[in-house]
Structure 1
Amino acid sequence: MEILSGAMMMMQKEYLDYVLVPLGLMVFMLYHAWLLYSIQCNSLRTVIGLNAESRQQWVLAMMSDPMKNGVLAIQTIRNNIMASTTLATTAITLTSLIGIFASKASDDHISSTKRISITLCFLVAFLCNVQSIRYYAHVSFLITAPTLRDKRKYMEHIAKTLNLGSHAWSLGLRAFYLSFSFFLWIYGAVPMFGCCCLTSLLLYFLDTTAKITRDIHSNSFRKESGTNNHDAEAALEPDYYPLAGDNVCQNTSVDNV
């Protein structure tokens, strides 16, 4: 009887793993699918879209006077690089520790799947943060190099690169969030499912913006955007320094910077 009871309990646990774990992942993925749709259709309703526009305005403000704001811009980008470096180091360290533990353990396929899932989350977080560092390092050179004639496209390229770095950092951070659910999977499928639902709920409040926030953001930039854009172009235009050989085609090829 005891053997039969133990077998039934094992079957029940496996049944919960096969049902609740996919449901939890589906909740997490459906939320992010909705978030991606919101960013594409109405970006200002999300914090990601609002911050992307703010970073674009920040680039215009910094490049309105590169000699004065150059140090501030580099310092800000360096802080972002340090944050991405910390997360990347943490992710690869935890991946190594899990690999060492897994090499000494011999468990069933469910336990192996749990460790592999956690490891994949940390590897994705590491790769995303490395890409974030790459983009930020690229921006640190571009934002202080007044070498192009087409200032408008040049500044848009820098803002786009800066936003790509921020998006990569956000993806890495969300991989960390998902790893919490896989950690709780060690204690059972129910805690894992509950963590996925709770994480998605908390992220909803963190990722969406209130109407008053959107109004303040829009009104602030509407009043200053025209002045900032004009000042940026006016300030940068006299500071044109040709590249070697005065190759105008090379200067205007912004997308290959």
Structure 2
Amino acid sequence: MVVLQKEYLDLVLAPSGLLLMFGYHLFLLYRILKYPHKTVIGYENHNKNAWVERMLQTETDVGLAINVIASNASTSTYLASLSISLSSLIGTWAGNSNKNFLEEVILGDRSLSTYAIKYISILMCFLIAFTCFVQSVRYYVHASFLISTLDSDLPVKYVQRSVIRGGNFWSLGLRALYFATMFLLWIFGPIPMFTCSVSMVVVLHMLDTNSVPLHQFRFSSTKKRSEKVVTASHRILLGEPTSVL
């Protein structure tokens, strides 16, 4: 009777926690597509588009733009290395773990098939995170090539698309790590997994919700700015009041 009760915990709590996480992210995806201004991801993408547009206005800002993109690419590279290292560590742990110790601390199903599902789920999450971070690096590198193409009629939307996709793959990689954390706690039983799922959904909902209104950026071209400065200089020489906006 006790064995059946423990198996029942895994059959109920583990799928419930997984459905809770999937349901929240489907809801988040719906909000990003329909109401992007209400999500942090949509807010950041709006600012990234404005940043790319500003960086491409003058050639003097190309170096700054490349440095910013390179820092994001290096962070994605680090997380990709971390993900593949953790997947290797989990694989080694799965092969050499002490089943007697786990049976003492786990309140749930202790069958070998359940152990296999747990370890495979964790490995899949880390591998998905690794793939997403690698794709993020790929798009950031491509954006660097596009931004460094000087004296060209390159459309701004090409660079914006690469930067946005790099950020989106970064977010997907982080979400995969969140799922890996949930599956990692499943090793110690369905109750820690379900508790982690509920807590993570509450925290992520707070972090993913944006209440700051989108700022409508307006950039004046360098040529117009220079003309204003020259006009102001002439007025200063003539003793007239000036106002450079």
TM-score, length of structure 1 as denominator length: 0.78
Task: Quote the sequence identity (%).
Answer: 39
**Local SS of the residue matching 1:145:** coil
Which residue pairs with 1:198 in the alignment?
199
- The 5 A counterparts of 1:79-90 are 79-90=71-82
Gap regions ≥5 residues in structure 1: 1-7, 236-257
Deviation at 1:156, TM superposition (A): 0.7
1:90 aligned partner, one-letter code: L
Which residue pairs with 1:173 in the alignment?
174
Equivalent of 2:95, from 100, 103, 107? 103
C-alpha RMSD over aligned residues: 1.9
- The 5 A counterparts of 1:217-236 are 217-218=214-215, 221=216, 224-225=217-218, 227-228=219-220, 231=221
Q: 1:45 to 1:179 in 2, by over 3 A?
A: same
Aligned positions, number: 213
1:144 has 2:148 as partner: yes
Which residue pairs with 2:136 in the alignment?
132
Which residue pairs with 1:14 in the alignment?
7
Equivalent of 2:66, from 69, 74, 80? 74
Equivalent of 2:22, from 23, 29, 37? 29
- Which has the higher Rg, Structure 1 or Structure 2? 2
Deviation at 1:180, TM superposition (A): 1.2
Deviations 1:1-26, CA, capped at 9 Å, x for gaps:
xxxxxxx3222121111111111111
CA distance in 2, matches of 1:204, 1:44: 15
TM-score, length of structure 2 as denominator length: 0.82
Q: 1:155 to 1:192 in 2, by over 3 A?
A: same
CA distance in 2, matches of 1:112, 1:234: 65
CA distance in 2, matches of 1:14, 1:202: 29
Deviation at 1:135, TM superposition (A): 0.3
CA distance in 2, matches of 1:11, 1:162: 51
Gap regions ≥5 residues in structure 2: 100-110, 226-245
1:112 has 2:104 as partner: no
CA distance in 2, matches of 1:233, 1:139: 25
Q: 1:13 to 1:233 in 2, by over 3 A?
A: farther
Which residue pairs with 1:122 in the alignment?
126
